[in-house]
């Protein structure tokens, strides 16, 4: 198989955009074209002042270096498919909202439509790489569609190459990945295709970090990795509830158990709950797969990770209400952070959405501030979370502010929902001066120096700390 010289990526989102921009940067001899149906998104990727559609530290630099050289963004999907030797499919795969498997199974309509497009317009052999997180055996469905619809003399080899980047650290994760996983059929053609993709990564990833496995192992490994990571967070969050009830301190517990090299220190940070586009979706996929395979105990086991996450969010809201003398009706709550984690503008499955929804149901008045999330996104997320409440009613109760200080002014309580660095560094004396008294802080991210804030006069509640003052 000749070396790949032209790559196309279908889907210019959080995965396809950064991943293929880094491939272009690291492989100047390969032409990379990232395509999307969404004209606004492509225009933003092409914007002269680099106002890119996603916020990701370091991404602008990568695009600045490669765009126009060997990196192109376009809505001309058919042309890009025709030109490419290798096509990444990086479209969205949200959880189904209706029909069979609603609430659990992945909605594969975007993967299917992209695959059908490839089959329809391709006039030469292609390596088609499944990059979106998908349920196991999606590659097989893609193969069936491609083979049933292709022209004669047009070969398709399917690979699975799941992305393990985390938002907020995507560029460093891509520059220096723990591993790159490539799944293929174990046939001579499948292995040749796998080698062609391995050669692309070999431009910057040490060869011992590129793992080549079977197609189904690769697909399952992606779900398994996310389920295991999310499970650690639900485990530590379950322990945080015990800490609060007993007087133990979750930071100390996490530190102590993380010293055991078999457990390790990472991903043991108690929080108001995990969010993001992957964890919940992938676990639900695993649950759905297990149920389909008639493995109900396995399904229940993994589902508990998501149930614990919902519990953690509810528990936090209840703490806020209980602490504010059992009612927040008419009180002003300042929510600091709306993204699902720091260093991203992404709000998919953000715990902040659930918190704000719960506060609004308790008839509180909510101020929201996030350094990166667009106002329209916050309104859209709240409308989606509360479909039966008219937008005008939501807007009466919610005020989006453009600074943390403004957000906290005249509030009774501050709730830290995202671990943005700037929240640690704000002038808490000034915040205190502007708030109604007693002034409460609820730290859902183990972010602030609680002792220091108490010294200023705040009543501080931190997740997983027993000494509730």
Binding site feature residues for NAD(+): 11-16, 36, 41, 91-95, 132-133, 167, 278-281, 348
Q: Which does 345 bind (CB under 5 to 8 A by kind): ligand UDX, ligand ADP, none?
A: none
CA-closest candidate to residue 211, choices 143, 164, 167: 164
> Kindly report the CA angle at 184 between 178 and 186, in degrees rounded to 5?
125
Q: Applying CB under 6 A, which of residues 72, 274, 338, 369 lies at the interface with ligand UDX?
A: 274
Beta bridge partners of 262: none
Q: Applying CB under 6 A, which of residues 8, 9, 11, 303 lies at the interface with ligand ADP?
A: 11
Is 165 an interacting residue with respect to ligand UDX (CB under 6 A)? yes
Q: Applying CB under 6 A, which of residues 10, 66, 284, 352 lies at the interface with ligand ADP?
A: 10
Q: Which residue numbers belong to the known binding site? A: 11-16, 36, 41, 91-95, 132-133, 167, 278-281, 348
CB of 229 to ligand UDX, least distance (A): 5
Q: Which does 10 bind (CB under 5 to 8 A by kind): ligand ADP, ligand UDX, none?
A: ligand ADP
Measured CA distances, 302 to 4, 136, 287, 290 (Å): 39, 16, 6, 9
Closest-approach residue to ligand UDX (CB): 276
**Cα(367)–Cα(332) distance, rounded to whole angstroms?**
7
CB of 419 to ligand UDX, least distance (A): 7
Is 11 an interacting residue with respect to ligand UDX (CB under 6 A)? no
Burial of 427 (0-12, 13-18, 19+ CB in 10 A): exposed
Span near ligand ADP by CB under 6 A; candidates 86-94, 174-182, 367-375, 452-460: 86-94
Q: Going edge to edge, which strands form the sheet with 86-89? A: 71-74, 31-35, 6-10, 86-89, 126-130, 156-160, 180-184, 210-214
Q: Applying CB under 6 A, which of residues 37, 154, 166, 321 lies at the interface with ligand UDX?
A: 166
The count of residues in the chain is 469
Is 278 an interacting residue with respect to ligand UDX (CB under 6 A)? yes
- Cβ closest to ligand UDX, residue 91 vs residue 165: 165
CA-closest candidate to residue 34, choices 3, 62, 55: 62
**Cα(93)–Cα(104) distance, rounded to whole angstroms?**
12
**Radius of gyration, alpha carbons of the chain:** 24
Q: Is 278 a catalytic residue?
A: yes
- Cβ closest to ligand ADP, residue 331 vs residue 348: 348
Q: Which does 164 bind (CB under 5 to 8 A by kind): ligand UDX, ligand ADP, none?
A: ligand UDX
Burial of 317 (0-12, 13-18, 19+ CB in 10 A): buried
- Cβ closest to ligand ADP, residue 89 vs residue 196: 89
Task: Decide: 358 and 314 in contact? Cβ < 8 Å.
Answer: yes
Beta bridge partners of 184: 159, 214
**Number of amino acids touching ligand UDX (CB under 6 A):** 19
From the candidates 9, 27, 278, 408, which is the catalytic residue? 278
Q: Which does 12 bind (CB under 5 to 8 A by kind): ligand ADP, ligand UDX, none?
A: ligand ADP
Residues 6+ apart with CB under 8 A from 176: none
Measured CA distances, 241 to 25, 145, 233, 266, 319 (Å): 46, 48, 13, 20, 11
3-state secondary structure of 322: helix
Is 226 an interacting residue with respect to ligand UDX (CB under 6 A)? yes
Phi, psi of 365 (to 5 degrees): -105, 125
Is 229 an interacting residue with respect to ligand UDX (CB under 6 A)? yes
**Cα(36)–Cα(74) distance, rounded to whole angstroms?**
7
Span near ligand ADP by CB under 6 A; candidates 106-114, 236-244, 307-315, 366-374: 106-114
Is 106 an interacting residue with respect to ligand UDX (CB under 6 A)? no
Site residues, ligand UDX (CB under 6 A): 163-167, 226, 229, 233, 267-269, 271, 274-276, 278-279, 340-341
Site residues, ligand ADP (CB under 6 A): 10-16, 35-38, 41, 77, 90-92, 110, 113-114, 132, 277
Q: Which residues have a catalytic role annotated?
A: 278
């Amino acid at each position: 198989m000749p070396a790949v010289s032209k790559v196309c990526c279908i889907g210019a989102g959080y995965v396809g955009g950064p991943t293929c921009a880094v491939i272009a940067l690291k492989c100047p001899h390969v032409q990379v074209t990232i395509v999307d149906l969404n004209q606004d998104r492509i225009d933003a990727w092409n914007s002269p002042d680099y106002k890119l559609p996603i916020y990701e530290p370091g991404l602008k630099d990568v695009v600045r270096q490669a765009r126009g050289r060997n990196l192109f963004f376009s809505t001309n999907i058919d042309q890009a498919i025709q030109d490419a030797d290798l096509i990444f499919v990086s479209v969205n795969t949200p959880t189904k909202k209706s029909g069979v498997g609603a609430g659990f199974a992945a909605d594969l309509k975007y993967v299917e439509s992209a695959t059908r497009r490839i089959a329809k317009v391709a006039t030469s052999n292609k390596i088609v790489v499944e990059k979106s997180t998908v349920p196991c055996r999606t590659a097989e469905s893609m193969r069936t569609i491609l083979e049933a619809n292709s022209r004669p003399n047009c070969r398709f080899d399917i690979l699975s190459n799941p992305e393990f980047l985390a938002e907020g650290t995507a560029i460093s994760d891509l520059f220096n990945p723990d591993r790159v996983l490539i799944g293929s059929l174990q046939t001579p053609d499948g292995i040749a295709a796998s080698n062609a993709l391995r050669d692309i990564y070999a431009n910057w990833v040490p060869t011992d970090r590129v793992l080549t496995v079977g197609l189904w192992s690769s697909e399952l490994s992606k779900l398994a990795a996310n389920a295991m990571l999310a499970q650690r967070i639900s485990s530590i969050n379950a322990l945080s509830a015990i800490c609060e009830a007993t007087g133990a301190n979750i930071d100390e517990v996490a530190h102590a158990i993380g010293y055991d090299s078999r457990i390790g220190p990472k991903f043991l940070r108690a929080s108001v709950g995990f969010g993001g586009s992957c964890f919940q979706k992938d676990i639900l996929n695993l649950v759905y797969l297990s149920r389909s395979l008639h493995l109900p105990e396995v399904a229940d086991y993994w589902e508990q990770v998501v149930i614990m996450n919902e519990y953690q969010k509810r528990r936090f809201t209840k703490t806020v209400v209980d602490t504010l003398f059992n009612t927040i009706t008419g009180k002003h709550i300042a929510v600091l952070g709306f993204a699902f984690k720091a260093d991203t503008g992404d709000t998919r499955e953000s715990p902040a959405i659930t918190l704000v929804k719960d506060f609004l149901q308790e008839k509180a008045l909510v101020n929201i501030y996030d350094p990166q999330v667009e106002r329209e996104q916050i309104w859209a997320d709240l409308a989606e979370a509360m479909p039966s409440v008219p937008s005008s009613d939501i807007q009466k109760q919610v005020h989006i502010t453009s600074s943390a200080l403004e957000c906290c002014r005249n509030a009774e309580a501050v709730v830290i929902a995202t671990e943005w660095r700037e929240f640690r560094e704000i002038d808490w004396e000034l915040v205190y001066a502007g708030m109604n008294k007693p002034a409460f802080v609820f730290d859902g991210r183990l972010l602030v120096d609680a002792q220091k804030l108490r010294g200023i006069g705040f009543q501080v509640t931190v997740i997983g700390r027993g000494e509730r003052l």
